Amino acid sequence: MLALTLFFAGLAILLIGADLLVRMASQAAAHWQVPPLVVGLTIVAFGTSAPELAITLRASLTDHAADIAIGNVIGSNIANTFLILGVSAVIAPLIVTRLMAQFHIPAMLVASLLTAAFALSGNIGNLEGGILLTCLTLYLLITILRKDPSIPSEASPTPDSRFSIAKGLLLILSIIVLGVGAYVAIEAAVSLATSIGVSELVIGLTVVAVATSLPELATSVIATWRGQRQMALANLIGSNILNLLAVLGAAALISPQGISVASEAIYFDIPIMLLAALACFFAASRGMAVTRRAGAIFLVFYGAYCAYLLA
């Protein structure tokens, strides 16, 4: 009962942090004349990926917890695409800019393929971790420097002098609040799952993955609700890329033996992650929005995936 209470308390904290993050990030974008697309791919994505980073790093350095580490990353990307993108698109079709369709979503697909290739040996080692982090650096440089001519005028705001140091501190505070809420929800969720005898890999792929994706869920849903649909999609795509290149890369680099990958993950869950990336790619390439119909299909697929894991 206590674990369930803590889980819902964590959710409440997450919602508060997500609302604050979206509002402060939007004002920062207006002040610095940065398109919401770039803010979503960098500041917001880094903030909402903080729980994945904390959990995966901790698991990678803990004996017998490698399955949680790899399961968290793979499961979070599957949840981000099929669950969170699905929910956000059902609320309102998500805008896909030309640069998003031609660079960022393909970059997510390439990152997924690279991770799958590294995982085939059964271990993602220090060298592979360094390669993933190098790819992250290149991706961030291109993201910051490259302009998107197809972004509508609402994404190229005029200067806003109202953004202050206090609001900058609130932006940082919102990320901290997200992390606190995620931590409380994660600990409670793992406690509940362990009590019913679920394996570490399945816990990582489902309970921990969904719990660490709660910041993305809260942020993307609130961003969509507030009309920041570019930021909502950018947050999810950016978070998926960061999970693979930053979170998994850092965990593999600092872990003495690297990250071991279970055969079940290699032959089932990683292919599902690739399928999620491909589904996102094709849904975005069919037009300039991820439609409500595509979102509903994603939700059905995610429900079937979780039902299979927990059966």
Residue 158 lies in a domain: no
Can you tell me the mean pLDDT for 295-309? 95
- DSSP secondary-structure letter at 286? T
Nearest by Cα to 296 from 63, 91, 78, 28: 91
Q: Are 174 and 21 in contact (CB under 8 A)?
A: yes
Q: What is the mean pLDDT of the chain?
A: 83
User: Which range marks the domain in which residue 296 is found?
Assistant: 2-148+166-310
CA dihedral 296, 299, 303, 309 (to 10 degrees): 140
Residue 275 — very low, low, confident or very high, per pLDDT cuts 50/70/90?
A: very high
Weakest mean pLDDT among 35-49, 102-116, 127-141, 297-311: 35-49
Which residue, chain included where needed, has tokens 């799952």?
Answer: 193
Give the tens place of pLDDT for each residue, 221-242: 888 888 877 778 888 898 899 9
pLDDT of residue 28: 75
CB 149 within 8 A of CB 265: no
Phi, psi of 86 (to 5 degrees): -60, -50
Can you give the CATH number for the domain in which 272 is found? 1.20.1420.30
Among 48-62, 246-260, 297-311, the least confident range: 48-62
**Residue 121 main-chain phi, psi, to 5 deg:** -75, -10
Helix H, strand E, coil C: the string for 210-272 is: HHHCHHHHHHHHHHHHCCCHHHHHHHHHHHHHHHHHHHHHHHHHHCCCCEECCHHHHHHHHHH
Report the pLDDT value the prediction gives residue 112, as an integer from 0 to 100.
97
What is the reported pLDDT for 64?
Answer: 55
Residues facing 123 on adjacent strands = 260
**How high is the pLDDT of residue 156?**
47
Secondary structure of residue 93 in the 3-state scheme: coil
Which class for 145: exposed (0-12), middle (13-18), buried (19 or more C-beta within 10 A)? exposed
Per-residue pLDDT band at 147 (split at 50, 70, 90): low
pLDDT given for residue 257 in this prediction: 86
pLDDT in tens, 70-94: 888 999 999 999 999 999 999 988 8
Q: What is the secondary structure of 25-56 as a DSSP string?
A: HHHHHHHHT--HHHHIIIIIHHHHTHHHHHHH
Please, what's the largest Cα pairwise distance for the chain?
55
Any domain includes 111 = yes
Does residue 154 lie in a domain region?
Answer: no
Residue 155: pLDDT over 70: no
> What would the mean pLDDT of 129-138 be, rounded to a whole number?
96
Contact (CB, 8 A) for 217 and 87: yes
Which is it for strands 259-260 and 289-290: parallel, antiparallel or unpaired?
Answer: unpaired
Q: Is the pLDDT of residue 158 over 60?
A: no
Neighbours of 159 (CB within 10 A): 9
Q: Which two tokens stand for residue 298?
A: 């994603």
- Interacting residues of 207 by C-beta distance below 8 A, sequence separation 6+: 189, 190, 192, 193, 198
pLDDT in tens, 88-105: 999 988 888 888 888 999
Q: Please indicate, yes or no, if residue 13 is contained in any of the structural domains.
A: yes
Stretch 262-291: mean pLDDT: 89
For residue 201, being part of any structural domain is answered with yes
Residue 119 binned pLDDT confidence (cut-offs 50, 70, 90)? very high
Look at residue 160 and tell me if it is in a domain.
no
Does 127 map to a domain? yes
Backbone angles phi, psi at 44, to 5 degrees: -65, -45
Q: How many domains does the chain have?
A: 1
State residue 207's pLDDT score: 81
Mean of the pLDDT values across residues 173-185? Answer: 81
Q: What is the pLDDT of residue 37?
A: 66
Residue 238 lies in a domain: yes
- List the structure tokens of 163: 């953004």
